[in-house]
Amino acid sequence: MTSPLDHLKSSGHLEQIYINGEWTQPAGTLRAPLVCPSTGETLVELPLGDAHDVERAVQAARAAFVRWSATSPQERAGYLDRLHTLMRERAETFAQALTTEMGAPITYARNAHVPFAAEHLRVARDNLASYPFRVQRGTTAIVREPIGVCALITPWNWPIYQITAKVGPALAAGCTIVLKPSELSPLSALLFAEVVEAAGLPPGVFNLVSGTGPEVGERLAAHRQIDMVSITGSTRAGVLVAQAAAPTVKRVAQELGGKSPNVVLPDADLSRAVSLGVAAAFRNMGQSCSAPTRLIVPRALLPQAEQLAVAAVDAMVVGDPFVETTTHGPLANRAQYERVQTMIATGIDESAKLLVGGPGRPAGFSRGWFAQPTIFSAVRSDMAIAREEIFGPVLAMLAYDSIDEAVEIANDTVYGLGAHVQGTDLDTVRAVAARIASGQVHLNYPAWDPQAPFGGYKQSGNGREYGVEGMEEFLEIKSILGYYA
């Protein structure tokens, strides 16, 4: 098949943005390199949008909102159904794009990134079909209406997955959109704009403006005709967007950083708990905001847990992400590689016990952003590797002497995005989960659930994505008293 990069070049869309139903050249002169994570070489340079492009996109979305917000749920569900079908038909192209732009192993792109992204569109369609936009409470009508024009800011680590997690419910709610994807992983966003065009969405309902955070993201956040911003990114980026949005008092939904705990209870199946815990921490090469990167185990079981953790890493295959037997590819970009190297060095300096991995590239790699899957044990909660989000394949193992202490360690963080609890006695597992301050808690490694609301406590953000709650973020509530008198 033609590579996604060659396809976008031949269509001309690689050099364009999508505004008001048309592909158009950005007004600015800024460009950004698309770097191959496996080699560190620049594949191509892409143009970026600027303030003029932001203004054009916002005005297009504002004009389109009048009609789109008045469409029936059935009509919007029809568009979402077409988007879902087209994404599934083009799944391999999206998978190839993800491997090219951010180094996701091709099998993981095919089996997780792309199908999960398509699921967000299906869920938005299904929830829309049954959602009560008007309910009666006495003689009052409680009406939920689309909030307006929404700026959606998405990250580089799960590029298409986060796009559909926002676009699907926003469209279902009746909102119009200006999407700013990460300039570090632009291919899947451009391919999604092609899907939007093929699905026949009315002009201005969906607009794509590539660009940097300061040039495009913060301008969108500050714009007076943007009614809501939804951002997935670092806590630092979320703070900057919220500050830019504050003068216009618009709604800001933030899905931000994490340092998720994984509590292994004394009665857990230790082999399963540790092996799957390492896999969960290192999925997507550890570049997931909810990755459970603190493995909290009973002190008496720590030596055995260490052996199991090392064995889990030994079974991983780090390599060329286009090879189907590769389980873990490179980190997505140079900045993240350098961040991971810095934090591994910090763990060593803090005298944590290095079990496996360490600084530098794995043996046999002399270029690209390949890092060694690394596990530290004998980690304390006051160490930087236990407190800071590393966003790479680095796992900290912490020991506890009582369940109360395990819960205290789990909650000893400024974050609260995801958490895991492992154990045989379900009542105890549930009781521990109830005590953890986190937006999601996974018990005994359940299947992914696109209907489970996702979002954070504390500095992991506010608002929710996925499921009905994800759509409700894009709705305002109006009370009409006397409606049923």
Looking at the annotation, which residues are catalytic? 255, 289
**Residue 156 and residue 333 in contact, taking contact as beta carbons nearer than 8 Å:** yes
Q: How far is CA 417 from the centre of its chain?
A: 12
DSSP helix/strand/coil, 230: strand
Count of beta carbons in the 10 Å neighbourhood of residue 40: 14
Q: How far is CA 454 from the centre of its chain?
A: 10
Total count of residues recorded for the chain: 485
The first and second tokens of residue 20, run together, are: 């008001």
Can you name the residues that pair with 461 across neighbouring β-strands?
255
The first and second tokens of residue 349, run together, are: 């300096």
Residues 6 or more apart from 441 whose CB is under 8 A from it? 418, 419, 420, 421, 433
Can you name the residues that pair with 19 across neighbouring β-strands?
22
**Residue 218 and residue 241 in contact, taking contact as beta carbons nearer than 8 Å:** yes
Under the phi-then-psi rule, with left for phi > 0, alpha for psi from -120 to 50, and beta for the rest, what region is 85?
A: alpha
Q: How far apart are CA 376 and CA 372, in angstroms?
A: 12
C-alpha count within 13 angstroms, C-beta hemisphere, residue 456: 28
Q: How far apart are CA 27 and CA 93, in angstroms?
A: 28
Can you tell me which residue has the tokens 């953000």?
461
